[in-house]
Every structure is written in C-alpha cells, then in structure tokens.
Homo-oligomer: A and B are copies of this chain.
C-alpha cells in the first residue's frame, strides 16, 4: 500500500488556509499514486485551539471544512484530525477525532481515548474520552488508527512522583486484538529538547511490542508559545526507523508499506540539542509574526549576551530588514555597552537607534523628589530606568507598528531578576525558556561559522547596569550553580531536600527556592514564552500567587 504522510504547519482557526494546505497535499499524494495520505491531529482547526473549542460556530466551521476536503478525496483516501460533536446524551461536548475521508465522504472515525491533561495540555476540558476501539480496513489493509497520547499509555515522566502509566486503559492493547496490519498515529506533539529521543522510542517500542509498523504524523510550526517540531517517523515492525521527516519543516513523504515491512532501515544522526533549540526559536518567532499578520520587530539592545542572541534569532526569523533595535544608555552604562551593541547591529545589517534615558529618568526623579524626600535610593530607581526603557521601546513599537521582543532569560524569570513593565515587557519572549548557561551555548552555535556575536559580548560579566559597577553575581549565585538548582526544582520537580542530598548547598537552594516562589506574581504578567523545555513558565505551570509555601 502506498502511503503519503503530510507534516504541515497549520494556522489555528484559519480554515481556508488549512484547507488549501491539506488539499494541495492530497493532490501531490495523488500525483505520487498514494492510496492514503495522513495528516496530523486536529489539522482542520489547528492545534491547540484552546477555548475556541467552546464556540459552537467554530465547531460548525470545522465540520464544513472536513466535508469540503472529503470532496477532494476521490481515488485516494485521507486521514485528517478534527473536533467532532459528541452525539451521546452525556459527557463532554466533543471528540478529538481522526476521520477517514474516502470517495467524497467521511467513512470512519476513530476518537481519542487518552486525553493529555497536564502541563500545557488541557484536552479533557473539551473532549470526551473514547471507550471502544475498532480497526478500519482500507484496500485490504487493517489500520489501527490512534491519536497522539493513545499510543503513549506508557511514558517516562521527569517528575518521579508521576506514574509511568497515567491511564487505566490502553487503546492499542484493544486494537492489537483485532489483528491490524499497520499502526497509524496522528499527533500534535510540541518540541522539548529533552524529549525528542523518548518520543521516538515510544513509537519504536510499540512497533516491537506488537510486531507492527508504526506510522506517526506530527505537525510542524509554532502557535504562540508552542513550537511543534514535526520529526514524524515511520518505524518498521522490528522497531527500526524506516523514514524520518525533518525537524521544524513542512514535508510530504510517500512510501510503499511493502518496503517498510522488508525493512530498509535509515540510520539517523542524533540531533544536537542546541541546534534544535536554535531552530525551534527561529521558527517560533517567524510563525508568531506570520500567523499574527505582523512583519517587523524591535528589541532593546544592551550590549549583553541575552539581547544579542535575541537579535540574531530575530534577524534570521524575520530578515535583517525587519528587525530594529534601540540602544538606551544611562549614566550607569559602561562605554562598551553601546560600542558592542552597535558592532553587533552593524554585523547583522539591522537598523539601530540610540536614545539616552537620561532626560526622562531625571524628569521622574524630579517629579518624585518631594514624595521621596528623606528616602534612600534603592531598587525603585533601578526599576524606573528599566521602565523608562520599556516606554521608549513601546513608543517606537506603537509608532512604527513593530512588535517588541522580550529578551529575558529563564534564569532571570525564575528568580524574579527583572522589572515588571520594564525589561519584562514585550509581545513575545524569545529566550524565556532558555537558562542563562544555555544562552552561551546558543551564542556559540550562532558563531559556529564566523563571529557574528562579538567576543566582547560573550566574555563580559553579566550586569544589569542599573547602578554603578553592578554585576548579576552581586545578587545571584553563579549561573552554573543557579541553573542546576532551577532545572532540578522546575523541570524535575524535586523536593528541596532531595536537591540538597544531590549535592547542592543547602542555604543557596533555600534562597533560590524562596526567590522562585516569591516571584510568581511577576511571571503571571509575563509575555508568552517560546517553549523549548519540558516545563516552561506560562500556561504549563500555574502556581497560586497567595500561597504560603
């Protein structure tokens, strides 16, 4: 059986666009004599549709679009993902369905049973879990059609407290009893740099366990925070990878299942995680702008490594002509801040402007002098400087219609080392899920062929430059120590005692954890953060602000 898999980049709610993507792929698959073309989970609506699923008009449009696409399925079948109304009297209003389209109509529906509802996933908000499972015969082949998590009934978790079997049923066990020939999995599985291998292993293990080929189809592209990496795989019944589609790119691949069973194994190089993070962030920026109908960006360039890396990523994502920066020196800025920033902007051929913050900063000091009489200078004045910069950046953003990119990193966000409405401002956080130590790795990767980011920027000691001779290390542990604690507490969710046992300094850990918990209120108002880890700040991590813990 000749099958095409279509790894595409959908746009949430843009039904015309998604339809044309899908119909073009059907045409191409037909041209390659495929009998079946497979698309990813909820490709009709785009993933994740979130609370648009609560709107009846949205669901109606999904139905209309599926029917229109079905009309194109003459002489070829297609599997598409769509929300479908649950017609039973009881339960949630929708199913998350894989629909088989053939001869102009919907001929079969498999509904998702295991609905991920953890971290950024919220599927049980909208969908009723399916409880019965049937293979579907197409041109003499018995297809076990599953949707994403349905095949992930056993999975490793970062948090040791979590169970590896999160569900009490296994759809694949039940499908296996019906003697399928091929397992199909349509997915919408977001990127995490620690998870690419384990995801592939899930498919390989299932193939081996059941002695069946597994065809997985993931989407690519970014939707606000979530970046989908594609990397769809076809696995032979022995668990070897037969085909692997690219990371972060659209691709349509056609193959014969006859060859699949006979096992022409592909050897794949293990991808470099820093390269994947880099490519994921570039795609994340590009799709945020493209899908919002936006073109150009602005950011504040401080002469430090964070904004330098962001400028490089943005220039690659949007084109150097669409990214501008503002250099905003103050009385506390070192000379190299400006010269290093100018050097970088020039190397990237991006526009830059220099605006001193001195005048508005002084005006605020004057305005407040009576009110603040007798009070010592403190973090207030540091925050005013950061906020003056945000006002300037937002003014240019408003006047020229360019979106402010936020350049805060995950280490800062974790401990609250940043100013709300100041350097925490922006429409999209580029590196808010990247720890400081990984920012250096990204800089190294960006410089892999030639020095784009000046060595000066990489070598200097991190500083916010909000008071004379200030260094990050005045207020924070060394980043290598800090990031290690953060990773164990945030990603691995280890109890503090366990982190201490594992060798970190008890006082430092307690202090860092206090800072994390105390600063939940700041992160509540942070911009959406491009997610590249298994636990990013934002929708996938919600803490009660008034808790005492």
Q: Measuring CB to CB, which residues of chain A are less than 8 angstroms from any residue of chain B?
A: 11-14, 17, 46, 48-52, 54-60, 86, 88-93, 117-118, 122, 124-125, 128, 159-163, 165-168, 223-224, 287-288, 291-293, 353, 355-357, 359-360, 362-364, 366-368, 371-372, 375, 378-380, 383-384, 387-388, 390-392, 394-396, 398-399, 420-421, 425, 427, 493, 495-497, 521, 524-528, 539, 541-549
Q: With the chains together, A17 CA to B548 CA distance in Å?
A: 10
Q: Which residue of B lies closest to A520 (CB)?
A: B224
Q: A89-B163, A161-B93 are in contact. Are A50 and B421 (CB under 8 A)?
A: no
Q: A371-B355, A371-B396, A425-B421 are in contact. Are A546 and B224 (CB under 8 A)?
A: yes
Q: Enumerate 5 A-B pairs (CB-CB under 8 Å) in ascending A order.
A: A12-B547, A46-B544, A56-B495, A363-B363, A387-B394
Which of B159, B166, B524 is close to A528, meaning CB atoms less than 8 Å apart?
B524
Q: Which residue of B lies closest to A157 (CB)?
A: B93
Q: With the chains together, A364 CA to B392 CA distance in Å?
A: 7
Q: With the chains together, A58 CA to B161 CA distance in Å?
A: 11
Q: Tell me the smallest distance from the CB of A414 to a CB of chain B, in Å.
A: 14
Q: With the chains together, A478 CA to B47 CA distance in Å?
A: 37
Chain B residues with CB under 8 Å of A159's CB are 54, 56
Copies in the complex: 2
Residue in A165, A379, A388, A549 whose Cβ sees the most chain B Cβ within 10 Å: A549
Chain B residues with CB under 8 Å of A60's CB are 495
Chain A interface, DSSP helix/strand/loop, else mixed: loop
Q: Is the CB–CB distance between A391 and B384 below 8 Å? A: yes
Q: Is the CB–CB distance between B387 and A58 below 8 Å? A: no
Q: With the chains together, A50 CA to B540 CA distance in Å?
A: 11
Q: Is the CB–CB distance between B360 and A12 below 8 Å? A: no
| 12 new A-B contacts at CB < 8 Å, known A57-B497, A421-B425 | A11-B546, A14-B547, A48-B544, A90-B168, A91-B163, A124-B124, A224-B545, A360-B360, A360-B367, A364-B391, A380-B399, A421-B421
Q: A51-B542, A92-B166, A356-B367 are in contact. Are A547 and B117 (CB under 8 A)?
A: no
Chain B residues with CB under 8 Å of A51's CB are 541-543
Chain B residues with CB under 8 Å of A543's CB are 50-52
Q: A368-B355, A383-B395 are in contact. Are A13 and B427 (CB under 8 A)?
A: no
Q: Is the CB–CB distance between A166 and B91 below 8 Å? A: yes
Q: Which residue of B lies closest to A495 (CB)?
A: B57
Q: Is the CB–CB distance between A359 and B363 below 8 Å? A: yes
Residue in A291, A355, A364, A375 whose Cβ sees the most chain B Cβ within 10 Å: A364
Q: Is the CB–CB distance between A546 and B287 below 8 Å? A: yes
Q: Tell me the smallest distance from the CB of A327 to a CB of chain B, in Å.
A: 12
Chain B residues with CB under 8 Å of A353's CB are 371
Q: Is the CB–CB distance between B383 and A394 below 8 Å? A: yes
Chain B residues with CB under 8 Å of A128's CB are 168
Which of B56, B291, B391 is close to A391, meaning CB atoms less than 8 Å apart?
B391
Chain B residues with CB under 8 Å of A387's CB are 387, 390-391, 394, 421
